[in-house]
Structures are given as C-alpha cells and as structure tokens.
Amino acid sequence: MRILSKSFWLQVSAPKAFYPVAGKLIPWFTAIAIILTLVGLYMGFFVAPTDFQQGESYRIIFIHVPAAWMSMLIYVLMACYAAIGLIWNTRLSSMMATALAPTGAMFTFIALWTGAFWGKPTWGAYWVWDARLTSELILLFLYFGFISLQAAIDDPQRASRASALLALVGLVNVPIIYFSVKWWNTLHQGSSLNLDKGSSMEATMLWAMLIMTFAFWAYTIVAALLRVRAVILERERHSEWVGELLGVGK
Amino acid sequence: MRRRAEVLTVVFFFVIVVSLFPLGVGPEIETLRLIAPGVIWVAALLASMLSLDRLFSADYVDGTLEQMLIAAQPLSVLVLSKILAHWVVSGLPLVLVSPVLGMQLGMDVESIGVLVVSLAIGTPVLSLIGAVGAGLTLGVRGGGVLLSLLVLPLYIPVLIFGAGAVEAVQSGMEYGAHVSLLAAFLITALLLAPWGAATALKISLD
Amino acid sequence: MRRRAEVLTVVFFFVIVVSLFPLGVGPEIETLRLIAPGVIWVAALLASMLSLDRLFSADYVDGTLEQMLIAAQPLSVLVLSKILAHWVVSGLPLVLVSPVLGMQLGMDVESIGVLVVSLAIGTPVLSLIGAVGAGLTLGVRGGGVLLSLLVLPLYIPVLIFGAGAVEAVQSGMEYGAHVSLLAAFLITALLLAPWGAATALKISLD
Amino acid sequence: MLEAADLQCVRGDRVLFDHVSFSVQSGELLHVRGANGSGKTTMLRMVCGLVSPSSGEIRWRGQSARGLGDEFHKELLYLGHQAGIKAELTALENLKFSSAVGGHALDTQTAVAALRQMGLKGREDLPSKVLSQGQQRRVALARLLVSKAPLWILDEPFTALDVKAVAMLQDVLAEHVVGGGIALITTHQDFTLNRGALRALQLGA
Amino acid sequence: MLEAADLQCVRGDRVLFDHVSFSVQSGELLHVRGANGSGKTTMLRMVCGLVSPSSGEIRWRGQSARGLGDEFHKELLYLGHQAGIKAELTALENLKFSSAVGGHALDTQTAVAALRQMGLKGREDLPSKVLSQGQQRRVALARLLVSKAPLWILDEPFTALDVKAVAMLQDVLAEHVVGGGIALITTHQDFTLNRGALRALQLGA
Ligand code: HEM
Ligand SMILES: Nc1ncnc2c1ncn2[C@@H]1O[C@H](COP(=O)(O)OP(=O)(O)OP(=O)(O)O)[C@@H](O)[C@H]1O
Ligand SMILES: Nc1ncnc2c1ncn2[C@@H]1O[C@H](COP(=O)(O)OP(=O)(O)OP(=O)(O)O)[C@@H](O)[C@H]1O
Ligand SMILES: [Mg+2]
Ligand SMILES: [Mg+2]
C-alpha cells in the first residue's frame, strides 16, 4: 500500500526520481500502443461491417473520433498539470504540461484533417464554418499559443507559470467543442455515445473505436514520457545528478 | 483631452473598416445587410486588439506597474480600472457609432437595436479577456503579435454569439439565447479576468 | 531565428483574423468570396498598424535612436533598413499566406494571383508611409493614437486600389489600372518616405 | 521590526545569494552594499514582495510579510531604479499620480510644496520628459516628503543628484530614521548618516 | 581641436546658458560641471549635433561640425544617460549591435574580450534585461574599449557603477586622453584624472 502514501508520491514527483521511473515505463506502453493499434485497425477495417449509406469512407471514423476525443482530453490533462504546477509549484507537473502540448496539437490536427477528408464525401466540402469544426480549430490555436508563449519566455520558471495561466483560461473552449453539436444546429453529427441511452452504433464499430482510443492513449503516454525526460535533462542540466548521468564530472 | 483623441481614432478606424466592405461587395444592399453584423463585430474585435498591447506596457517600462503591485489597494482593482479605461476607448465608441454603421450597411431598426445591445454586452468581455493576454505577454519577445495569437481564439466565442444574435433577429429567429449567453460570458469574465490579469502581471514581474 | 519565430506568429495572426470573418458573416461561400479582398486588405492594414508604434519607440526610449542620428552612415539608410524589417514581419508574411487565405475564402485562381500581386506592391507602401507617421509622433503625448490618426487617411488610397484591383478581376473587369497606380504609390513612397521619416526623427529628437 | 530569515535567491541557474538573514529595528537604516550584480536590487525587491524568495521569508512586526499582504504594503514605500515617472505627465501630475497609486491622494498645495522643497520651483508644470535626469529623480524622491510609511526601501536614491540634492536627501533620511522609521537603501557612493543608527549588510563575496 | 564659440541654448521660455565658449585640445579631458538642470546634458548633445544651438557654433579641427556631418560623426563616440541597451538582446548582441550602428562591425572575440574586461565574464549570453543596472551600464561602456574615435562624449558615465568599475573607467579615460584623445564628461561625483590634463567647465550660476 505504499502507492497510497503521500510521501511516496512526493518522492516520485521529484524529477530526479521520476526520470528513471519514466525510463522503465516507456517500453511497456510502447508495446501496448503498438498491439492495440494493430487490433483496432484490424477490427475497424476488416471486422466492422460496411456502412449502408456511406460505404467504406466512414471507416475514417476509427481514426477521427479517437483523435478528436484525445485532442480534448489531452488539453484537459495538460491544463490540470499546469494548474498543479502553478499552485503548488511542483516542477515535474509543469514539465508534464510542456511535454503533453505537442501531442495534443498533433491529435487536434489529425481530427481536423481526417474530419476535413471525411467532409468531402459526406458534406461535399472539405471545410465548413460549423461550430464544432471552428471550436476544434480554436483548440489547435490554443495549443499553438501555449507552445509559442512558452517558447517566447526565457526563464523556464516564468514560462511555465505564464503558459499555465493561459491553459486554464483556454479550458473554456473544451465544453464548447463537446456541446457544440447540441448548442447549434451543426452539419457535424451529434454524439452517438451517451451514457443514458446506450450507444446507437454497431458493437464491433464501437469496440474498434474504443480500442483505437486506448491505443492513442498509450501512444500519448509514451510520447509524453519521452519528452518529459528530455525536458527534465534540459532544465536540471546544472544539478549534480544530471551531471553524473551524462558523465560530466562537476 | 487625450481620451477624446483616442476615441476619435477608434471611431475613425471603424468607419474605414466598415466602409472597406462595400468596396469588395459592391453596392448590392442585400449582401451588405447580410454581412453587416459580422463585419461590425469583427471590427470590434480588431479595435479591441489594436489598443491591447498598450494596456500595460508603458506602466511596465517606467516602473509604475511595480508600484501597483506593492500598492495598498488590491492589484485586481487597479487592473479592473485599467480594463475599464481600455473599454471606454476601444469598445464604447463602437457601441455609440454602431447604429450609424448599421444604417450605412442597410440594417433595419430592430436588428440595429439588437446589434447595439450585443455590442454593449460583448465588447467589455473582449477588454477583460484581452487584459489577461496583455499581462501574460508583458516584456516578451515579439509581444504584440503573440498577444493577438493568444487572445483572438478566446475572442471567437464572443464573436459567434454577438454576430449570431443579430443574424438571428435578421432571419426572424429567436435571439434571446445568444444575448443571455453573452451576458453569462460577461459575468464570468468580470469575476475571473481581473484576478487572472493580476496573476499574469505578478508572474511577468517576478 | 527570432525573426523566423516572429514571422510565424504573424502568419498565425493572419490565419486567425481571416478565420474570424466567416464566423461573423456566416459560411456562405459566395458571400465570403465577395468580401474576401476587403477582409484580407483590412488584415494587412491591421498588421501594419499593430506593429507601427513599436517601429521607433523602443529605439527612442533606450537611446539607440540618438546613436543612429550621430552614426557615420546617413540616417535615411538606417531608417530604410528599419522600414524593410518592419515590412518583413508585417507585410511579407501576408503576401506569403494570402493564397491560402484566398482559397479559404473561396477565391478563384486568377483573383488570388492579382491579390498576391496587389499585396506585394501595396504592403511596402504601408510600411513606408507608416514610418513617417511613427517618426512624427515619437514621444508625443498620446502617441499611438495620434499616429493612427495621421497614418490611416494615407493608408486609405492604398487599400482602395489594392482591394479594388482584386474586386475588379473578380467581376471580370480591367484591373491593370489599379495595379499600376499601386506601383506608382510604391515608387513615390520609396523616394520620399525614408527621407521624410529621417527628418521627422531629427525633429522629434531635438 | 523587519526581519529577513535565511533568504535564498536563485536566478536562472545561479544562486545569487543564500542564508541571508538580518533584522532592522525602527530608528535604524540598513545600507545594503555589494558589487554590481551582487543582488542588492533583487534583495530589496524581495523584501517588497516583488520577487518571491526560493527559500526563507520576510517578517514585518513578527508576521510573515506575504501573509500580511496589503497590510504590509500600506507601511511600505519603494523607489526602484525605475523612478516610475511618466514622460508625458508634468512633475505635479506625476507626484499626484504616483502617490494616488501608492494609496493616498494628495491635494495640490501639499504636492507643490513638496516639489518646491525638492528644488523644482517653477518646474511643476513642465512635462517630465523635458526635465533633466536629476530633476526627474527629484520628482520621484518628492514622494518621500509626503509619505507617512514607516518603511522606506530606496534603490540607488542618489544617482543623478547633484551635491546639494544628495546632502538634502541625507537629511531627509536622517529625519525619517530618527523619527522612528526604517530605511533600506543601496548606493555605491560612500554614505554617512549624521543622525540615527546606520547599519550595513554586505552582499556577495 | 574641438571648439565651442559663444553657444546659447534656449529651452521653452528660459535661456539655459548663454555665451558659453571653450576649446579642448587633444590630450585634454573637459569635465562639465553644474547643478541638476544647469544644462550639461543639453550642452553635450549640442556638441554631438543632436541639439541645434540657438546661436553660436561647434568647430571640429577648425571646421563647422554641422558642415562636416558624417565626417565629424565618424570621429565621435557619445554615451548618454540612456545607454542604448536593448532589454531582449544579450550583452554580446548589444555590444555588436551598438557598434554596428556606430558604423564599424565587431567580430565576436573582440566583443567578448571587451565584455570580459568590463567584468561581464559568464554574462555575455544573458538577455540584458536580467542584468543588473550596473552590468547593463558596463555593457554600454564596453564600447569605449573597442572604439577608435578620438572624441568621447560621456554623460554621467559613472552612474550605477561600483567602486571597482569606477576606478577602471577612470583608467580607461586616462589612457584615452594620454593617447591623444579628447573627452567631454559630466559627473556629480568628484572626479580626478591620474594622468593627462583635466579641465573643468562650470555651467549655471
Ligand atoms: C474538420 C472537420 C471535423 C472536425 C474538426 C470534427 C471534430 C470532431 C470532434 C471534436 C469529435 C468528438 C466530439 C464528441 O465526442 O462528441 C468528433 C466526433 C465525431 N465526428 Fe467529427 N469532426 C469533423 C468532421 C467530421 C465529418 C465530416 C464526419 C462525418 C460525417 C464526422 C463524424 C464524426 C462522428 C461520427 C463523431 C463521433 C460522435 C460521437 O460518437 O460522439 N466528423 N468530430
Ligand atoms: N536568468 C538569469 N540567469 C543568470 N543570472 C541572472 C538571471 N537573472 C538575473 N541574474 C543575475 O542576477 C543579478 C541581479 O542582480 P541585481 O540587479 O540585484 O544586482 P545589484 O546588486 O542591484 O547590481 P547593481 O549594483 O548593478 O544594481 C545579476 O548579476 C544578474 O546577472
Ligand atoms: N521646454 C522647456 N521649458 C522650460 N525648461 C526646459 C524645457 N526643456 C528643458 N528645460 C530645462 O532645461 C534643462 C535641461 O537640462 P539638462 O538635462 O541639460 O540638465 P543637466 O545639467 O544634464 O542636469 P542633470 O545633472 O540633472 O543631468 C532643465 O533644467 C529643464 O528644466
Ligand atoms: Mg541594482
Ligand atoms: Mg544630465
């Protein structure tokens, strides 16, 4: 039950301690990511039935939806880490926020791109100024803002605190994305997964989507860990332990 | 006296922006009426942004900001007063001239009414949100544009509902929802933004 | 390196600004096509103005300007290089992304071509004219605002002919006249503006 | 009355100062000394609460200054390298504005009197940007004459002042200290206090 | 070599100074003295050609400085109250930039050497805004070490410098003067030149 004790977390959340832990975790999640992706794609593209109105093009959904979900989820996660870093100024959580941003931006872009790609056959246009599409686009800009603000400030401490505040402010956009389909009469189709009245779609499709989502999750974790390790080295480069690690005698 | 000059420019700016569109669109009053709300609202956004990077920078350079941080009254109050001043020169003028611009673009009386209301509620939100951005980008490389990069996305919801309200009434639909959402934004912004901006300033001065 | 980051930010800025209009005006592509020239030219005006008051003011405050005045090389040359730098961060990016923006707003290939040309000729004029204004309003009470009061009227002709050219080709009319007029503006500005700005600076530093 | 307990300041990747502790009682002036870049300004800003120490804390009348917040700020007057003078405002406007920001409004004749005492007679209504360096500095220092704050924190108050002004400022400081006030100052010029207790804190090796 | 003939300066509605004449030969340093606001800065800027005298003229090597224009500027180095340091540039970039503006580009190692000599070792690549007041001042003064201009005009060069830096700057000035250069400086601190001829010009009553 060490996991539950506070001291344990304090230890682990010290960059020095976390660095090797992250190193150990990476291979596992890499494996998970690869396996789930393969399974998910197989189910999505071979097991799941052809859609009776959209034909094969609908299969984009297996990339699009998980990507879209991740884009929002990662932003929330990033904002939480940033907030923790801002309030209790714990160095590691700020670093995690920094490490998550690019992955989030990537998934946002994928959601936009696959969506646009999908839009052509279904709506006859790559892009329409529809509430959901727009708010997703804003999400991309928010990621860009977060990244460029951090890049623009020299002092890492200040940089992470400033961008944390920005991330928190930008949080308002996420519910807008999610509920846009409810609030406006959008071209984009509404949520077909709701907790109250089950799901409206084929079971295999649903499973394929969920599996892809978990695959993306695993990928996110891997990417974040890899990046956070780099960030740790970069920011702690003057501490002894990094010195020893890199074999630079102090 | 200085204020009056500033207000004048902003008004001037609006007139130019708004009169640029008939140029592209040509005189068809139909199209003009169609795009009027959007154009005016975008003008509002841009005007708010134009003056944003001057919100704190002068005080930052000459050390007044330090004095504000260690002043006896809470920083957020001082910040709020600065935000108010910003709105008075960037937002209020538009609210006042918008009826004229609306007519120029061939809007009917009712829509103009809604336009004015939406602007009156919406533009303060712009100044409030903007202040946070201004605080964050203080003394940062490439400040002005970075600022707009941060702020514009957050402006967009305001724009959507503001212009949306007017378009709704123009197409004879229900606009109450839009306006009340704007009001909700305003209240939230009023509660959070001054505090946010104050925090941002503290961060940038540390 | 820092320049590159700055240019990138400006590009984002344009993409956002232009994305604002469809949000306000509504997604109907043919309306968008109509207002596209106006939209993009307004964006150009903004970007130029946004960065204008920072053209000399920093150098003025930190004393670099004095150094330029007593430098061995002629002031107008230094000024011209500053103007060029201003255009590189405010005008050039727009010229580069304008095709994308044009497509975003559903313009056809030919009009996009004209758009790019008009911007390439027109935006330097904005920077050149702006420099004179910036020099004159240096360290003047309420500077930034007075600056736009001086500069905006001079910008208008550029905007009219710039947007005009595109709108002409869109409506299948002759656009050569507009473009050659823009070119005339550019040449005149190139000849007069650096000298004018230099003089303005000397005056405001005495 | 004012205590600093084991302050540490980290800037970028260098430790600027560490284990700095001092306490100043009312009636004392603390002269913070040290070479360029030794951290004097940072230290003073830390005492004001503008910079948060990476460890240690500031105590005022026994309580944590950060905790006291505006209670502490009420009793504090800080003048930094940047005098906070607005170029386009006149000397008079500047003095009124700065003390308004500081928290207490000034009536015109008090302000004018203070400016006269700083030797700015006839310059009250000139825009500050035409004033000489020293005159601008004097406008900023005029706040000392109208302030009731017991704790003065002055960063390089003597720069740009001519000999007469330096002498008069030293008197003002002495008055303040003798009257039960506290002052923290930095200066590179050698500095004596003709009345009141002068103490020194050396920063850096 | 440098002559000022019967200079007069009117500012607003007051005559700042009148009938000021002096001539400085190479190997001499002129210390312009006077109370705050007596017109020292204005005088120096007048000699540079930044302010045009309401009457009288400046001559350099016998010819009117205004007439010489850039010929004169080539031989001139002016450092004003405002050091001309850009907050976002590093110390190194600042030195290179300022001397590039001045007219001659610097290669990196010369610049670095100069900064080191000014005691900024290890600070070369920090953005100047994080540097201390004195360090920023040193960055500006580093130009003296790399300049070949015979005429130096320095307005309050000693402000914000610590004792060591003041001493070293005095040496640099002495070197320059002894080497046949000319210097005009203002300072409120009492100032001695251990070599070379020191002359004084008193402004104001
Ligand atoms: C660039 C264009 C698009 C963007 C930015 C976009 C964005 C999103 C987002 C953010 C979600 C997740 C929100 C949620 O879970 O409710 C989503 C889900 C979805 N999108 Fe898109 N989308 C785009 C285009 C399309 C197109 C063209 C289609 C097909 C007609 C489509 C079909 C779906 C479906 C079926 C879902 C799952 C809804 C659910 O089950 O909850 N999307 N999209
Ligand atoms: N980000 C950073 N990285 C490295 N060093 C830094 C950073 N920020 C500040 N410093 C150092 O911190 C010090 C700040 O010192 P401070 O301004 O307090 O000096 P000071 O004692 O006031 O000097 P002066 O007498 O010149 O005013 C400088 O030496 C500066 O180089
Ligand atoms: N427009 C004006 N009207 C009246 N007086 C003016 C005007 N412009 C400048 N002055 C006066 O001219 C003087 C400028 O002096 P200058 O800056 O040269 O002084 P200084 O000798 O450098 O002083 P310091 O020792 O403080 O640097 C000031 O006394 C200022 O009041
Ligand atoms: Mg200092
Ligand atoms: Mg002076």
- Ligand 3 touching residue D127 (CB < 6 A): no
**Helix-strand-coil split of chain A, %, nearest 5:** 80, 0, 20
- Judge whether B9 is closer than 8 Å to chain C, CB to CB: yes
How far apart are the CA of E46 and the centre of ligand 1, in A?
Answer: 70
pLDDT 10s digits, C72-122: 888 999 999 999 998 988 888 889 889 988 887 888 899 999 999 999 999
* Chain E partners (3+ C-beta pairs within 8 A): A, B, C, D
Q: Does C27 touch chain A (CB under 8 A)?
A: yes
pLDDT cut 90: percent of chain A above it: 39
Confidence at C4, pLDDT banded by 50, 70, 90:
low
Contacts of A235 in chain D (CB under 8 A): none
Residue E108, token pair as written in the block: 């990196």
pLDDT value at position D46? Answer: 94
Q: How far D20 CA sits from the closest chain E CA (Å)? A: 19
- Please work out whether the CB of residue E135 comes within 6 Å of at least one atom of ligand 2: yes
How are beta strands D76-79 and E28-33 bridged, if at all? unpaired
B201 in D contact zone (CB under 8 Å): no
Residues C85, C86, C89, CA angle at the centre, nearest 5°? 85
pLDDT category of residue C3 using cuts at 50, 70 and 90: low
Picking from D48, D83, D87, the nearest residue to B70 by CB comes out as D48
Select the more confidently predicted residue: B104 or E10: E10
C24 contact A CB<8A: no
Q: Is the pLDDT of residue A33 over 60?
A: yes
Section B158-164 average pLDDT: 88
SS (H, E, C) A48-76: CCCECCCEHHHHHHHHHHHHHHHHHHHHH
Angle D157-D161-D167 from CA coordinates, rounded to 5°: 85
Residue B47 contacts C where some CB pair is shorter than 8 Å: no
Stretch among A6-15, D19-28, D116-125 having the lowest mean pLDDT: A6-15
Contacts 24+ apart (CB under 8 A), C105-109: C105/C18, C105/C21, C105/C22, C105/C32, C105/C33, C105/C35, C105/C36, C105/C39, C105/C40, C106/C29, C106/C30, C106/C32, C106/C33, C106/C36, C107/C33, C107/C36, C107/C166, C107/C170, C108/C170
Q: Is E67 exposed, middle or buried (0-12, 13-18, 19+ CB in 10 A)?
A: exposed
In sequence order, the 6+-apart residues with CB closer than 8 A to the CB of A202 are A48, A49
What mean pLDDT is reported for chain B?
Answer: 85
Region A93-120: mean pLDDT is: 92
Q: How far is residue E157 from each of residues B35, B170, E142, E185, measured CA to CA in Å?
A: 61, 68, 11, 7
Residues with CB under 5 A from ligand 4 (ion): D 41; E 133
Q: Quick check: CB of D166 below 6 Å from ligand 3?
A: no
What are the φ/ψ torsions at residue D7 (nearest 5 degrees)? -70, 140
Please judge whether E82 and C205 are an interchain contact, meaning their C-beta atoms are less than 8 angstroms apart: no
Helix (H, G, I), strand (E, B) or coil at A28: helix
Q: What is the mean pLDDT of chain E?
A: 91
From the CA of A67, how far away is ligand 1's center (Å)?
9
Greater confidence (C17 vs B65) lies with B65
Sort residue E151 into left (φ over 0), alpha (ψ -120 to 50) or beta. Answer: beta
Residues with CB under 6 A from ligand 1: A 61, 64-65, 68-69, 111-112, 115-116, 118-119, 122-123, 132-133, 136, 177-178, 188-189, 191-193
Nearest ligand 2 atom to alpha carbon D16:
12
pLDDT at D205: 60
- Tokens 């590691």 locate to A92
- Closest atom, ligand 3, to C-alpha of E44: 18
The best mutation among A189, A195, A212, A213 to test binding of ligand 1, ranked by most ligand atoms within 8 Å of the C-beta, falls on: A189
Alpha carbon distance, N-terminus to C-terminus of chain E: 27
* pTM score of the predicted model: 0.85
Residue A223, by phi and psi: left (phi above 0), alpha (psi -120 to 50) or beta?
Answer: alpha
As a whole-number percent, the residues of chain D with pLDDT over 90 amount to 68
Contact C142 D129 (CB under 8 A): no
For residue A241, the model assigns a pLDDT of 79
What atom of ligand 3 comes closest to residue D132's alpha carbon?
17
Name the one residue in this structure whose structure tokens are 């807008």.
A176
D103 contact residues in B (CB cutoff 8 A): 71-73
Give the ligand whose atoms come closest to the C-alpha of residue A187. Answer: 1
Contact A141 B146 (CB under 8 A): no
The mean-pLDDT minimum among A65-79, B140-154, C169-183, D32-46 falls in B140-154
Complex prediction ipTM: 0.82
Q: Which tokens belong to C191?
A: 């000849």
**Which residue type, as a one-letter code, is found at position A52?**
F
Q: Please report where in the chains the tokens 């790559």 appear, as a residue.
A: A126
Q: Is the CB of D135 under 6 A from ligand 3?
A: yes
Judged by a CB distance cut-off of 8 A, whether residue B205 touches chain D is: yes
**What pLDDT shows up at residue E84?**
79
Q: How close does chain C come to B16, measured CA to CA in Å?
A: 8
Please give the residue of chain D at the shortest CA–CA distance from C206. D130
Contact D84 B67 (CB under 8 A): yes
Of residues A153 and D169, more confidence is placed in D169
Q: Which residue lies with its CA nearest to atom 29 of ligand 2?
A: D37
B199, pLDDT greater than 90: yes
Q: pLDDT category, B1, cuts 50, 70, 90?
A: very low
CA of D131 to the centre of ligand 3 (A): 5
Q: Please list every residue in chain C whose beta carbon sits closer than 8 Å to the beta carbon of residue B149.
A: 9, 12-13, 16
CB contact under 8 A, C64 and E50: no
Question: Which residues of chain D does E131 touch, with a Cβ-Cβ cutoff of 8 Å?
Answer: 37
Q: pLDDT tens-digit profile of D91-135?
A: 999 999 998 888 788 999 999 999 999 999 988 899 888 999 999
Whether residue C142 and residue D88 make contact (CB cut-off 8 A), yes or no, is: yes
pLDDT at residue C123, as a whole number: 94
Q: Is A9 a residue whose pLDDT tops 70?
A: no
Q: Work out the angle between the directed axes of helices C75-90 and C2-25 (0-180°, nearest 10).
A: 50
Cα B142 from Cα C82, distance rounded (Å): 15
Q: Which range (A78-87, B187-196, C136-145, D173-182) has the least confidence?
A: C136-145
Selection from C141, E84, B67 nearest residue D129 by Cα? C141
**Residue D39, pLDDT score:** 93
Q: Render each residue's pLDDT in chain E as its tens digit; 205 residues.
A: 899 999 999 988 889 999 999 999 999 999 999 999 999 999 999 999 999 899 999 999 999 998 888 889 999 999 998 877 888 889 999 999 998 888 788 999 999 999 999 999 988 888 888 899 999 999 999 999 999 899 999 999 999 999 999 999 999 999 999 999 999 999 998 888 888 888 999 988 6
Q: Tell me if D41 CB under 6 Å of ligand 2.
A: yes
**CB proximity B108 to D under 8 Å:** no
Mean pLDDT calculated for residue range A113-121: 87
pLDDT of residue A198: 47
Q: What is the pLDDT of residue B30?
A: 76
pLDDT tens-digit map of B2-37: 566 667 777 777 777 777 666 655 667 777 787 788
The whole-angstrom distance between D62's CA and the closest CA on chain E is 31
HSE, CB side, 13 Å, CA atoms: give it for residue D26. Answer: 11
Ligand 5 center from residue B71 Cα (angstroms): 30
Query: Which comes out higher in pLDDT, residue B122 or A148?
Result: B122
Residue D54 has pLDDT above 90, yes or no: no
Please give the distance, rounded to the nearest whole angstrom, from the Cα atom of residue D14 to the centre of ligand 2.
10
**Average pLDDT in chain A:** 84
Distance between CA atoms of C135 and A88, rounded to whole angstroms?
A: 47
- The answer, for C142 touching chain D at a CB cutoff of 8 Å, is yes
Q: Does residue D137 have its Cβ closer than 6 Å to ligand 3?
A: no
pLDDT, residue B114, reads 94
Kindly indicate the confidence band of residue A10, based on its pLDDT and cuts at 50, 70 and 90: low
Query: Å from D43 to nearest chain B CA?
Result: 12
Ligand nearest to the CA of D188: 2
Tell the residue nearest (CA) to atom 8 of ligand 1: A68
Residue A103 has pLDDT above 80, yes or no: yes
Q: Give the residue whose CA is nearest to atom 27 of ligand 1.
A: A119
A145 to B149: CB separation less than 8 angstroms, yes or no: yes
> What is the rounded average pLDDT of the residues C182-190?
95
pLDDT tens digits along C52-79: 877 888 888 888 888 898 888 889 999 9
